[in-house]
């Protein structure tokens, strides 16, 4: 997996855009997207009920297109956008051109976003949404202005969003001119972005925040322990991979209800040396075994068990398999 793909996979903005477009979809939606090897965008649409055959994936990588075909996106096309789009004459409800480069394109590959946007303006349905992303690097600070000047007259800019992924980026959300409810499109995107930011921000507390100190600690936290984190009236399952000298823990998250976090172990969490025997309030940690007393979960894994379990988690990351299938 490429470095850029890894960064995109962990990108809150990528997740926000995918959720936004999926939210606007229906089982009969037709879509065309530039997708990476993880197929995050096309998978998000399918998860909301879009028929895979109605989603076309674009990429110049033969292996990515093979994966897209295997996922049911049988009309997916290998090649650079400017060369392949002119061959596609369908109308689409969702067009998502997630460029890594600048609005000027790439002379080596022949990608010219200006012409791709003209194609999108012609092929977007009357109630459709077009999202295009660009890098803001170079251009003496005028990448955004250049991109706006490229918007075809038949399209209307609804929202422009700045963020940082592999570099400084921005996204433009566009609809057909005369679209009746541009405010709904803008507000839907903003609501999803704020909700995602709040979820990630609350769940991933900064290390420098003051950890919760229990008055009567009852259990010492151990390495390779299966634990629960109480957040938003729910308990989230993880496994302690290691500690640092400040008693912060590296957690491997394994809760299938959280696709963004499942199988990841980024950041350090201020768990502390002791945890509660039962989590009753937000921000508390406890052993999984202390809560699931009748289940066959071990409290702490041995080193060889940990290695096998982590390998299993990575193998089942796409399916978001529950750890009950491993231990039962």
CB 113 within 8 A of CB 144: no
Q: Say how far apart CA 124 and CA 6 lie, in whole Å.
A: 30
pTM metric for this prediction? 0.61
- pLDDT averaged per 10 residues in sequence order, the chain, 328 residues: 45 90 94 94 94 96 96 96 95 95 89 97 97 80 89 96 82 95 93 79 48 48 85 79 81 82 78 71 78 75 89 84 80
Q: Say how far apart CA 93 and CA 133 lie, in whole Å.
A: 18
Pairing of the two strands 168-176 and 55-59:
unpaired
pLDDT value, residue 63: 95
pLDDT value, residue 212: 41
CATH architecture for segment(s) 3-201 = 3-Layer(aba) Sandwich (3.40)
pLDDT value, residue 244: 79
With b meaning 16 or more CB within 10 Å and e meaning fewer, what string describes 50-72?
Answer: bebebbbbbbbeeebbebbeebe
pLDDT value, residue 207: 44
Domain ranges within the chain, ordered by starting residue: 3-201, 219-327
pLDDT value, residue 7: 43
pLDDT value, residue 214: 36
Structure tokens at 279: 């989590």
């Amino acid at each position: 997996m490429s470095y850029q793909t890894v960064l995109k996979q962990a990108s809150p903005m990528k997740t926000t855009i995918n959720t936004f477009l999926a939210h606007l979809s229906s089982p009969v939606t037709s879509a065309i997207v530039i997708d990476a090897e993880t197929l995050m965008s096309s998978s998000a649409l399918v998860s909301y009920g879009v028929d895979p055959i109605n989603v076309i994936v674009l990429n110049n990588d033969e292996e990515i297109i093979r994966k897209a075909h295997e996922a049911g996106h049988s009309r997916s096309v290998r090649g650079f956008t400017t060369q392949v789009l002119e061959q596609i004459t369908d109308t689409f409800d969702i067009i998502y051109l997630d460029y890594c480069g600048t609005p000027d394109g790439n002379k080596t590959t022949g990608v010219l976003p200006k012409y791709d946007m003209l194609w999108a303006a012609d092929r977007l349905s009357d109630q459709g949404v077009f999202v295009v992303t660009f890098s803001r690097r170079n251009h003496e600070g005028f990448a955004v202005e250049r991109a706006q000047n490229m918007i075809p007259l038949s399209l209307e800019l609804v929202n422009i969003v700045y963020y940082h992924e592999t570099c400084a980026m921005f996204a433009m959300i566009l609809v057909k001119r005369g679209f009746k409810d541009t405010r709904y499109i803008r507000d839907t995107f903003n609501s999803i972005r704020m909700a995602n930011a709040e979820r990630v921000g609350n769940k991933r507390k900064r290390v420098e925040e003051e950890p919760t100190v229990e008055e009567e600690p009852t259990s010492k936290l151990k390495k390779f322990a299966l634990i629960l984190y109480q957040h938003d009236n729910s308990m989230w399952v993880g496994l302690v991979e290691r500690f640092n000298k400040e008693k912060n823990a590296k957690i491997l998250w394994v809760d299938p209800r959280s696709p963004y976090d499942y199988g990841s172990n980024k950041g350090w969490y201020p768990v502390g040396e002791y945890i509660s025997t039962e989590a009753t309030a937000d921000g508390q940690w406890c052993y999984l075994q202390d809560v699931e007393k009748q289940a066959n979960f071990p409290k702490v894994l041995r080193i060889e068990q940990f290695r096998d379990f982590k390998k299993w988690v990575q193998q089942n990351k796409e399916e978001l398999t529950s750890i009950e299938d491993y231990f039962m």
